[in-house]
A and B are shown apart, each in its own frame.
Chain A
């Protein structure tokens, strides 16, 4: 098992003929988990590395079973593509683009909730269940990816795309492989933040411990802490929160100060997580140490 993707996942790529679509197809194919099909309006009937291309998702789903759609279109067209995938009944959607308009993100997430759809992203490089499936190009060429991401018991979720690989490498170097590692997205509004990731990892028998990389800003880390305190995740959690030495930011009007009172800062996140029993790493090298400690403690219950 793993979360989000496994060896049997049937993924498609919307925007498959574009730069990132072709790159995803290449990386996924070399990993042994190629997309089953792709979509680019106006290019139906063509293929990318042998993967058939359709004009619309509706036509594609008549020919293929689809579990996951990766949206690889430019930010301005993301919402439209996501709604197209949802209309075709696809239940898991991955959004690669950064710089997606914030109100589009807000609307997409509301639609997804209404329709029971899981969105991962926007603004993430990918998902990998080592040895089983890679959505996107995490780790780059296979030769490198196999040194960075190795199979094992650690669930890894990161708001930073780059830190997903960086932390996975620290873990793998210490002999700690990953069940699933993914970038949940660097934007303020994302579909699968820590809370949802913890919920998924909790129900994955392969995952024994969860590592999360958080950053200052947003409520996601605090929300995860609440979820753990409420008993939503009984597996041990190790976290690294970046931004202690934050860059000076701008204050946006009074509404921002009012609604963000009491969360979002480094201190707020660290305190909330610590109170929830999360093990906090102060450096990257502490992450594998804390994971090892967590794995050594017998599971309660």
Chain B
């Protein structure tokens, strides 16, 4: 879960990492008051997770309180990428002498702790990574060895820093490591890490990605009122929100739903995340276009399966429906009951193909047949066979409709 900048800075401040003075505002008048209180030129920064916030005009300078109100009015409610800006951070403007880059994360290959430090940071960082990777100092650290400030100073020297910056940046790296450990983060990143005209080292930005699975032990999150939310690449759609509700109402099993291609014309429910991913690829292989992804697994009760099927059948414009499992251990008679209930209630007029395999699949198959589902398949039918069948049925229906019109 990634945090907004001001949340990240709140966490940094608890470790003692210097951050600019400032507060978050949800209305222009509030932004004005904060700027007046600070009494110095400020930056007004949109609180969104979208990358390249600065380049998209999400960061505005304001010389006085009135300008801060204006900047806030300009940003609040505005869309940046897929997100709408609901909060702005109003903070003192730094006198920048140098912009650096620093990060601590888990090395995705070695699975130890990876430190990154570059004496050049800021908006150009992507270019530096791509064109001057040797300028980014990388240091791998065993999770079983403590990291001390002297390690940080060594890295600062390796990055070519001199004078007061050696101790200042070394200390920040030590604190960044502390933040990484204490908040059980997957990533803590500062870009830019600013050295001010007066020689202070200040975190001008904060990118913090937390581990949802470790949040229960991070007391600071509760104390600061930071909610743990599931990370999504964009704002959830109405059906995605409905799925979240379905999932929340009953703790048994999961319904993990995502809308896919708007041009997709097949509604899909599948059992198990690995299998669901595989099924999308197989559909693609057969030239079929799923409209959604819906993993309904982990032994959900029949009522949850029923709701998932109904939700998927509500996708406008779908011309076929597929419910499919790999070989699973959940009791499939329960799954079958949910499918039959939705089928009988809605009587869908589109091809409706079901294949269940695994625990009690024979009984499940009988339930599906007794429930009037003509295109139910037993375990022995391959996934590919069922997908092909759906394709054939959809083509037949299309021909019939064309003939009728």
Chain A residues at the B interface, C-beta cutoff of 8 Å:
75-76, 99-107, 109-111, 114, 125, 137, 139-141, 144, 148, 158-163, 165-166, 168-170, 173, 186, 188-189, 213, 215-216, 218-219, 223, 240, 242-261, 264, 282-285
Q: State whether A283 touches B384 (Cβ < 8 A).
A: yes
Chain B residues at the A interface, C-beta cutoff of 8 Å:
2, 49, 51, 101, 103, 105-109, 111-114, 116, 125-126, 129, 133, 136, 142-144, 181, 184, 186-187, 189, 191, 207, 209, 211-214, 216-217, 231-234, 258, 260, 271-275, 277-278, 280-285, 290, 293, 297, 326-329, 357-359, 379-380, 382-384
Cα separation A105 to B191 with both chains bound (whole Å): 28
Closest 7 CB pairs of A and B: A160-B274, A166-B326, A162-B272, A101-B214, A165-B327, A255-B103, A140-B329
Q: Which residues of A contact B357 (CB under 8 A)?
A: 166, 169
**Which of B136, B144, B277 contacts A243, CB < 8 Å?**
B277
Q: Which residues of B contact A284 (CB under 8 A)?
A: 278, 282, 382-384
Supposing A170-B382, A173-B380, A247-B293 touch, asked if A103 and B108 sit within 8 A by C-beta, the answer is no
Residue of A nearest to B330 (CB): A140
Between B233, B278, B326, the greatest number of chain A beta carbons within 10 A of the residue's beta carbon is seen for: B278
Q: Shortest distance in angstroms between A264's beta carbon and chain B's nearest beta carbon?
A: 8
Q: Shortest distance in angstroms between A161's beta carbon and chain B's nearest beta carbon?
A: 7
Residue of A nearest to B384 (CB): A285
Supposing A103-B143, A259-B105 touch, asked if A163 and B272 sit within 8 A by C-beta, the answer is yes
Chain B binding surface, main DSSP class: mixed
Cα separation A125 to B330 with both chains bound (whole Å): 13
Residue of A nearest to B387 (CB): A283
Q: State whether B329 touches A139 (Cβ < 8 A).
A: yes
Supposing A243-B281, A254-B189 touch, asked if A160 and B273 sit within 8 A by C-beta, the answer is yes
Q: Which residues of A contact B281 (CB under 8 A)?
A: 242-245
Cα separation A173 to B281 with both chains bound (whole Å): 22
**Which of B126, B144, B277, B383 contacts A114, CB < 8 Å?**
B144
**Which of A100, A141, A173, A251 contacts B359, CB < 8 Å?**
A141
28 residue pairs bridging A and B, Cβ less than 8 Å apart = A99-B212, A101-B211, A101-B213, A103-B211, A103-B214, A106-B143, A110-B111, A110-B112, A110-B144, A114-B144, A141-B359, A148-B327, A158-B274, A163-B275, A163-B278, A165-B326, A165-B329, A170-B382, A186-B274, A218-B108, A219-B109, A245-B281, A245-B290, A250-B49, A253-B207, A256-B187, A259-B105, A284-B278
Supposing A247-B260, A284-B384 touch, asked if A254 and B216 sit within 8 A by C-beta, the answer is no
Residue of A nearest to B145 (CB): A110
Supposing A159-B274, A162-B271, A245-B281 touch, asked if A255 and B105 sit within 8 A by C-beta, the answer is yes
Q: Which residues of A contact B109 (CB under 8 A)?
A: 219, 223, 259
Q: Which residues of A contact B283 (CB under 8 A)?
A: 245
